[in-house]
Each structure stands twice: as C-alpha cells, then as structure tokens.
Homo-oligomer: A and B are copies of this chain.
C-alpha cells in the first residue's frame, strides 16, 4: 500500500468517526439545553447506538494496517507536519482503543448511564450508601480498563493518560505536594488577615435576563464569535464543539449570583475561543483538535481567573454593569466589588472555590482516586477519608455526604483520572499569562482599555492554531520555555492576594 493512499484513507475514516462524535455532542448539548423530559429514553438509545458505531469504526483492524503503511514513510518524516501529528496521535488512540474489549466499553457506558440516576438520588438523600455499590462497580471497571490498556508504574497512570497523554501519577503527586506546601499556608495567612472583603455585595439580586444580555455582550467583546457559536441556558455549564463554525456554550444564571454567572461565562468562553481558534482545515483530525483536556482547561481558567477576576477587566466593565444594574451595584465601589470577587475562604464545594484553595480540592480528589484505584482505599471508607482529608487540608468538614463525596457527578460519569486536568489547567494558564505579559506588556492595562483581542490573537497563534501538534507537556515548553511548572501559579497567587489582603512580604 502506498503511504499517500493509506494516509488519505486513514484521514477519511477518522473524519467520519469525528462526524459521529460531533453528532453525539449535539445530542448531549440538546439533552442539556432543550430536550423535554419525555425524550430521555429515546435519547439514551440514540447515544448508545452512536457509541457502538464509533467503537466499531475506531477499532477496525484496517486502521492498524493503514497506520503501519504510513509510519516510517516520507510522509511522516517531518514530525511537525499535520501528517506526522495525525499518525502519532491516531496510533496512540488506536492502540488504546483496540485493547479495550467492546464488552467492557459497553459495560462502562451502561453502568455509568444508570449510576448517574443512583448518584443523583443518593445526593438528594445525602446518603452515600445508595451510591456505594455503583462506585464499587465503576472502580472495578476502571481498574479492568487500566489492566487492559497497560501502565508503567501503577494502574491510575492508565486512567490519567486517557485525558492527558504522557503524564503519570508520580508527576502529578509531586505537583500536588508542591502546591500543598505553598497554598495551605497562603490560605491560612489570608484567614488571619485584618483586611477582609464583604461577600454580601455579590448576593444582591440582579435580573436574570439582564445578566444574560450583559454576559453575551462581554463574551462578544472578548472575541467569542457568535456567527460561529451561540450561548444557551443549561443546568450544567459546558462548552461543546459541534464542528468548525458551531461552538455552543451552555450557562446558567441565578438572581443572587451575578458574579458567579459571569465567571462561568468567561470560563466557557475560554473553552470556546480555543475551539473557534483551531485550524478548520484540520478539523476532525488530531492536528485540528485541542492538545489535551488540561490544555483546554487552561484556556477556560485563563479567561475565568486571569481576565474576569482581574481589576483591569472590571475597570472596563464595571461602569457598564452598574449602569445596567443600579439597584444592586450603585452603592458598591469598584474596589469593593473586585475584592469580594476575589475573596479567599476554605469551602466544601470545588466548583465554588476561590483561586487559592481550588487546587487543594483537586489534590484531595487526586489522592483519594489514586488510593481507590490502587486498592489501598476501600469504597466503603470513602466518606470518612473524604471528611478527614477536608479537615486536614482545608480545615472544614462536610456535614453530610451531599456536601462531601457526592458533591459532583464525575465518579458516576466514570471520570476517574480526570481531576489532574483541572490543576494542569491552572498551572498552564499561569505559565501562559506570564509569558504573554512578557511579550505583550501589561495585560491588566489592556483589559482596562477594553482591549482583549491582542491576547486572543497571541493565544490563537501560540496555542489554538497548533492543535494537537505537541502533547500538552511539550506545547507548554514550546510556548513558554518551561515544562509544566507550578511556580508561576504560586507566584501570581502570592502577589495578587498579598496585595488584596494587605499581607506583608
């Protein structure tokens, strides 16, 4: 088989598989935003059928033959060419996929579909007992998955790699240790600071329709392209790429959480800008996809934390917000608003956590998951281990399992090994924004002038357009000159919060 012909067929097949995946994404987006309740049974049948079709295509031995015909050929010689990137990444995906028996894949799909219902009920009842057998089964299935896929040091490695290629449990453990050493004392210093924000200013009622309008205006101002995307209401905020030119953001609003709603929008817009910045010519192939889940998360966290929690951003937007929502904001100064938005306070729920304690939540989850998968922690002991870890790390303890180990649906979804991507997102975001500042000058000053597109352009060129050219750990080095490094994140948090809270030295 000639390499060129093999490559063409490979890409044709991969794009077709990608089309099916983009159809799945639309079905999930629709379920999240529009589907009436009565549609749930048929929707699960539709999704199961598509998952089967994707598996059938992804494990076709023909793909292995085609890869063999291209690998080592002239076509893949330039390692930075689209062809070489695609062959490298498709080989990685194929080797992983064919090791997973279809029965296991189906079992995971079926179990996690049902586990979500069980989790939602257990959380309502604030009782881990109802979810325990499901989590036991899921941990068992994910361990089986790890055994099928194979790993260097421990089974949890195989699960992490599904989201972040070339990353290991040991590397993440060192990263979390370093962050714990820095962030636990930093949070403690703020708890003892005399200067304190007033969080009640963010709990004033702001009309939901107005929030939506303001959010869309901000999203457009920072570069989200509404001709190639849209924003809808959804129960769980998310950003879904449905193909080049069709990126959908789902967000939610609460009258008494204007700031939280806007941070969520900027988070999802961050994902959306990455999606809209990918090379449409490479759509459906790894060269036209995000480098990794963690790199994707870095874009979200950059726009949420480095932009929407910055003073410069609000210098520009606060007068507009105040004009729109005078009843809520008229007697709140920019500084009060900005300080409240950046309040640091140890809490129980990750999704509401501040920038400083956020990664301590992720550290706890990482350690619990790793122990579960290695077998040193039994599922039955999770609630107690959770409480103990929160007490030790954050100094708070959940009153019940709904506030504790049942707080989110990741485990019910089978997302074990996923949490490290949240932390990598923060680490990468800090490295990227530090580098962007070196090249572009003060970002805060640009934001204060309402200038966001220079940063978008920079991210587009350095990160988005490169798609999957490098694994994330390599991409961050190419862009910033350093491998993954927690220090820019820690430096930034110390500086920012030292100033806000008036901490000395």
A interface vs B, CB < 8 Å? 16, 19-20, 22-23, 26-27, 30, 34-43, 45-46, 49-50, 53, 225-230, 232, 242-246, 248, 283
Contacts and interface: CB of A to CB of B under 8 A. Distances in A.
A493 B23 CA distance: 47
Given A41-B244, A46-B243, 9 more contacts: A19-B49, A23-B27, A26-B27, A26-B46, A37-B227, A38-B227, A39-B228, A42-B242, A42-B243
A227 to B, nearest CB: 5
Contact of A246 (B39, B49, B229, B232): B39
Contact of A45 (B19, B37, B43): B19
B34 A230 contact: yes
B226 A39 contact: no
Nearest to A225: B38
A42 B26 contact: no
Contacts of A283: 42
Nearest to A40: B245
Contact of A26 (B16, B30, B229): B30
A245 B23 CA distance: 20
The list of the 9 closest CB pairs from A to B, nearest first, reads A38-B245, A42-B243, A39-B246, A38-B228, A39-B245, A19-B49, A36-B230, A19-B46, A23-B46
16 contacts: A20-B49, A22-B42, A22-B46, A23-B27, A23-B49, A35-B246, A36-B226, A36-B229, A36-B245, A37-B228, A39-B245, A40-B245, A41-B245, A42-B244, A43-B243, A43-B246
A243 B39 contact: yes
Contacts of A232: 34
Given A36-B245, A42-B244, A43-B246, A16 B229 contact: no
A108 B232 CA distance: 32
A35 B19 CA distance: 16
Contacts of A27: 23, 26
A227 B37 CA distance: 6
Contacts of A225: 38
Contacts of A38: 225, 227-229, 244-246
Contacts of A246: 35-36, 38-39, 42-43
A245 B246 CA distance: 27
A49 B18 CA distance: 11
Contacts of A41: 243-245
Contacts of A227: 36-38
A35 B232 CA distance: 12
Contacts of A39: 228, 242-243, 245-246
A50 B16 CA distance: 10
A429 to B, nearest CB: 27
A38 B46 CA distance: 25
A390 B42 CA distance: 46
Contact of A23 (B16, B23, B226): B23
Contacts of A46: 19, 22-23, 26, 243
A72 to B, nearest CB: 31
A23 B48 CA distance: 12
